[in-house]
Amino acid sequence: MIFVSHQNGIESNLITGRINALILEDSEEYTYLVETLWNQIHKIEEKLLFYGKENELLDMSKRCDIIFSPRDLSFQNSKISKKLFAYLTEQIQMSGLNDEIIKNHAELLRLMDEVKNISEYTICIEEEYSLSDILKNGGIKLVDPEGSFCEKLIDYAKINYDFLKIDVLFLVGCKAYLKESDYYHLEKWTEYQSITIVLIEKDDNRLPLGINKYIIDKDKCVIH
């Protein structure tokens, strides 16, 4: 994959199955890249270019995610929930639980109708529910990852790939959360899953040797 930011002077070859690092020593250049990257992934504006195989221009909002801290490693968002309910709906139908759930939900609606009758105030009840609606109202959700930052990141990345096909993760200023041994386990996992990890940092202190680094120093010179 080729990642291009003309403003920063970046044209970096990101290697799938490896840990990559984009290091911008100048604070303004670093800030610009982080803000622009966030905006592009969230479809606010497009100033970056991202090429895949055979120079195919990739949609970063569909293929990429951006992580700033352990708090971002959460499954509590609408995209994941929608995919989870679709998955569970399919599993329920295949298992034969569909009729039993609908039967029990019908009984719940009957009881809610009694609540309506005893209410002093005029209320209405939504009677048309899909199986996804029933699961949502039951409070079903994925459990957030647990463990160290590295362990959480691996679990988070796997679910995001399975459900959303996100295969590129940009980690902004996250090296403080990673131990030296974590890089070995993370790179082994990215190689196995064909996931691309990109660290975005202001310096390469504490980064291990052997990762694919692309450095722009304070004089805006490129160092590979």
Tens of pLDDT, residues 47-93: 989 998 888 999 999 999 999 999 999 999 889 999 998 898 888 88
Reported pTM: 0.86
Strands 10-13, 222-223: pairing kind: unpaired
Domains and CATH numbers, the chain: 2-75+143-223 (3.40.50.11940), 78-137 (no CATH)
Alpha-carbon distances of 207 from 154, 173, 199, rounded to whole Å? 19, 12, 10
Residues 13-51 have pLDDT tens digits of 999 988 999 999 999 999 999 999 999 999 999 898 999
Distance CA 26, CA 218 (A): 5
Q: What is the pLDDT of residues 99-149, one digit of tens each?
A: 787 778 777 778 888 888 888 878 777 767 777 777 787 788 899 999 999
| Cβ-Cβ contacts under 8 Å for 132 (sequence gap 6 or more) | 85, 86, 89
Cβ partners under 8 Å of residue 82, min gap 6: none
CA proximity to 89, closest of 80, 98, 79: 98
Cα 149 from Cα 155, distance rounded (Å)? 10
